[in-house]
Structure formats: structure tokens, C-alpha cells
């Protein structure tokens, strides 16, 4: 009830540059993080049916925050109080960088969509390290998304990823290898077989060494893919990921397609939200039908029904970004409540079907 008003004010205040709304939201979340008990009793929804262990990590529920919302891990405590089962911070790059000129986010409320061309604006791996060092970490898993700095040429990309991985190793519950953002020139080339293979092997080897030195389990490595890949290209990604024992995939990043966007626009960048929903779900289903690799499904999830459909397509966990912008902070607990109900109904139906056919 409250959020439509808040959204109205926020969208009004940030009409010229929607990034202002994002900056305000992060500031408020930082503040909330200092007093988590204020929100916790409204947002923390617990239900054993939502819990699972995956990649050796415990998830209290399957709803996570997608990469790109908290690029520097400045608001992880506040975000955790919204009831997320896990957070993904970043994408962080080796070097701090400003990203593309503003404005670089565009809202399309009629379509429940966003176009962004942020270009990995972030404080760099060392900046994120400082942030983690001074933050009292929430108890949920925190994934760190790593990417390539703009100034780094493609043939030196592996060193870039390696630097961020090493620097932040002890703080990430898992690491997402982002090779699918459309806003860093050349980045998506890293999804090609040979590039991806070298990148994964290098990070896997480093992961073993770092885990051995620290006497801990190897940190899970996941690959985030684009929805714009052909089925053949996805097959190649899957072959590399399976051969190299990647722990899972995240599908999908934003799309360059404008299908499903009713508003005319010439803004460049990646499209997210409702228009991405079908394609993201289709890609998740394809991956789950062709491999046993666990998938985190992301793209156009706005409510419990959308989340449930993504889980039915085969995803083990889901993430949201654009849904959080349009539906507001209470969408996380509402989604979990709804998911709990839908999962129970589904289980009962399955039991009835088995009993009926016996």
C-alpha cells in the first residue's frame, strides 16, 4: 500500500535521471542496515519448504538479489533485512571505474522494464574489500560478481578476473563470472568456447590453491550467461562448464533485444524486466533440460507466480532486480510467502497424482 506512493515520489524526484532513485534507495538501505530489527519482523518469512542446501551453502529461501544493484557491497546489511535468501554484489572489476556517462538507466513503467548501460561503474576490487572489512556481515550467503575492467584488453581479461577473485576470495560465499553484460565492449566474447575455457580453468586452479591455503572448502564458481546466445552457443557454454566442473549457471543477464517493449526508444543498453521474462525462462529450461548443473534463474520476476514458474523451469534459486524497483522492498517477503504456498499446493497435487495412479 505504501510503496506505490513512495515509488511515485521516487520516480518523480528522479525523472531526469533514474539513477538518483537508486542512490536514494541505497542510502536508505544503508541506514536500515544499522537498525535491522525495525524491518525484520515484517520482512523475515521463515518456512522450511523454502530452505535448501546448494553448492555447500545453506539458503533460507530461494529469492536472491541479482548482480548490479549493490555494486560496491555498501548496503548488504539493509538488503539482508528485506528477507532475501542470498545477495549477489558487484559486478566488481580489478580497477575502479566510472562507467558510462549519465543518464544511463531508463525506465519504461508501462512495460515494467528498464534499459541500462551502466558499464560496470564500481569502486574496484580493493574498494569492495575495504567495504567488507568494515561491515558486520549478514548471515546469508553473499555471492560476488566479477567482471573485466574497461581499460583491460580482452587478451588480458583473465588477469583482471583473477585479481578480483584473489582480493575478495575470503568474503564471497560464491563467485559469479560475469561474461554476459552487454555494456562492456567485447565482454560477451568471453562466452566463446576457448576464452571461457581458459578463464574457468584459471579461476578453478586459483580457487583450489586459495582454499588449500586457507584450509576451507573450494568457493563455488558460477557463470552468468546472456539471453542473446543462440542454442548452439549455449551448448558450447554448457560443454565447457560441464567439462570444467563449474558449480552452476546464472541465467540470464539483460538482453539487447527490444522484443516485448511496447514503448518506442533508441536508448542503447541491456533491457530487463517483464519483456525479458519469457526468454530468461526459456533459457533456464533449455539449460536444465541439457545439463545437471544447478541454475539460478533471473529475468522478469515480479511476484511469487513468476518465481514459481522459474523454479518449475528447473532453476534451483531465483534473483530479482527490476522487480524490486517496480514492486518495492516488500516484494521479497511477499514472494517468499506466495512461493511457500505454491510449493505446498504443488507437492500435495503431486502426492495425490501418485496416490491416484497407484
Secondary structure letter of residue 114 according to DSSP: E
Question: Pick from 67, 78, 329, 340: which binds ligand FMN (CB under 6 A)?
Answer: 67
User: Which of the stretches 39-47, 50-58, 239-247, 315-323 binds ligand FMN when contact is defined by CB under 6 A?
Assistant: 315-323
Concatenating the DSSP letter of every residue in 219-231 gives PPEEEEE-TTS-H
Question: Pick from 32, 66, 287, 288: which binds ligand FMN (CB under 6 A)?
Answer: 66
Concatenating the DSSP letter of every residue in 7-57 gives HHHHHHHTSS-THHHHHHHHHHHHHHHHSTHHHHHHH----GGG-EEETTE
Nearest to 267 by CA among 101, 48, 153, 112: 101
User: Which of the stretches 129-137, 209-217, 233-241, 318-326 binds ligand FMN when contact is defined by CB under 6 A?
Assistant: 318-326
Binding letters toward ligand FMN, positions 136-175, x by CB under 6 A: ---------x------------------------------
The closest residue (CB) to ligand FMN is 68
CA torsion, ordered 296, 302, 306, 310, to nearest 10 deg: -10
Is the Cβ–Cβ distance between 224 and 249 less than 8 Å?
yes
Tell me whether residue 238 or residue 284 sits nearer to ligand FMN (CB atom): 284
CA atoms in the 13 A half-sphere facing the CB of 214: 14
User: Which of the stretches 35-43, 159-167, 314-322, 341-349 binds ligand FMN when contact is defined by CB under 6 A?
Assistant: 314-322
Contact between 320 and ligand FMN (CB under 6 A)? yes
Tell me whether residue 187 or residue 293 sits nearer to ligand FMN (CB atom): 187
Residue 181 annotated to the active site: yes
Is the Cβ–Cβ distance between 168 and 125 less than 8 Å?
yes
Please identify which of the residues 181, 226, 272, 333 carries the catalytic annotation. Answer: 181
Tell me whether residue 288 or residue 298 sits nearer to ligand FMN (CB atom): 298
Question: Pick from 107, 188, 224, 279: which binds ligand FMN (CB under 6 A)?
Answer: 224
Is the Cβ–Cβ distance between 143 and 177 less than 8 Å?
no
Which residue shows C-alpha cell 536508505?
Answer: 28
- Which residues on neighbouring strands pair with residue 100, listed in sequence order? none
| Residue 251 CB coordination number (10 Å) | 33
Tell me whether residue 80 or residue 179 sits nearer to ligand FMN (CB atom): 179
Tell me whether residue 59 or residue 120 sits nearer to ligand FMN (CB atom): 120
Question: Pick from 173, 254, 291, 333: which binds ligand FMN (CB under 6 A)?
Answer: 254
Contact positions vs ligand FMN (CB under 6 A): 66-68, 71, 91, 105, 114, 116, 118, 120, 145, 178, 181, 224, 253-254, 272-273, 276, 298-301, 320-323
Amino acid at each position: 500500500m505504501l510503496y506505490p506512493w513512495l515509488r511515485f515520489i521516487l520516480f518523480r524526484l528522479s525523472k531526469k535521471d533514474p539513477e538518483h532513485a537508486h542512490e536514494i534507495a541505497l542510502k536508505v538501505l544503508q541506514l536500515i542496515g544499522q537498525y535491522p530489527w525495525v524491518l525484520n519482523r515484517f520482512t523475515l518469512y521463515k518456512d522450511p519448504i523454502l530452505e535448501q542446501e546448494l553448492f555447500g551453502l545453506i539458503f533460507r529461501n530461494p529469492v536472491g538479489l541479482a548482480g548490479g544493484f549493490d555494486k560496491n557491497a555498501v548496503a548488504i546489511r539493509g538488503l539482508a533485512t528485506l528477507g532475501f535468501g542470498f545477495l549477489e554484489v558487484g559486478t566488481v572489476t580489478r580497477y575502479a571505474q566510472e562507467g558510462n556517462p549519465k543518464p544511463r538507466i531508463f525506465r519504461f513503467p508501462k512495460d515494467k522494464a528498464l534499459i541500462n548501460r551502466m558499464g560496470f561503474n564500481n569502486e574496484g576490487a580493493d574498494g569492495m574489500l575495504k567495504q567488507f572489512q568494515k561491515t558486520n556481515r549478514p548471515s546469508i550467503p553473499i555471492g560476488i560478481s566479477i567482471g573485466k575492467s574497461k581499460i583491460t584488453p580482452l587478451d588480458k581479461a583473465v588477469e583482471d578476473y583473477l585479481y578480483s577473485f584473489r582480493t575478495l576470495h575470503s568474503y564471497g560465499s560464491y563467485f559469479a563470472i560475469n561474461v554476459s553484460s552487454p555494456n562492456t565492449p567485447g565482454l560477451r566474447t568471453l562466452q566463446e568456447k576457448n576464452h571461457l575455457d581458459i578463464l574457468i580453468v584459471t579461476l578453478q586452479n586459483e580457487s583450489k590453491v586459495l582454499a588449500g591455503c586457507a584450509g576451507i572448502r573450494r568457493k563455488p564458481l558460477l557463470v552468468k550467461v546472456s539471453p542473446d546466445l543462440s542454442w548452439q552457443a549455449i551448448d558450447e557454454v554448457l560443454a565447457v562448464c560441464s567439462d570444467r566442473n563449474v558449480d552452476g549457471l546464472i541465467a540470464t543477464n539483460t538482453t539487447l533485444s527490444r522484443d516485448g517493449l511496447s514503448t518506442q526508444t533508441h536508448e542503447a543498453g541491456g533491457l530487463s524486466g517483464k519483456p525479458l521474462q519469457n526468454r530468461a525462462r526459456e533459457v533456464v529450461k533449455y539449460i536444465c533440460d541439457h545439463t545437471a548443473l544447478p541454475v539460478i534463474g533471473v529475468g522478469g520476476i515480479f511476484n511469487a507466480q513468476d518465481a514459481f514458474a522459474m523454479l518449475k523451469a528447473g532453476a534451483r534459486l531465483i534473483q530479482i532486480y527490476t522487480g524490486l524497483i517496480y514492486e518495492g522492498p516488500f516484494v521479497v517477503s511477499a514472494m517468499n510467502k506466495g512461493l511457500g504456498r505454491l510449493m505446498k499446493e504443488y507437492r500435495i497435487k503431486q502426492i495425490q497424482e501418485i496416490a491416484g495412479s497407484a
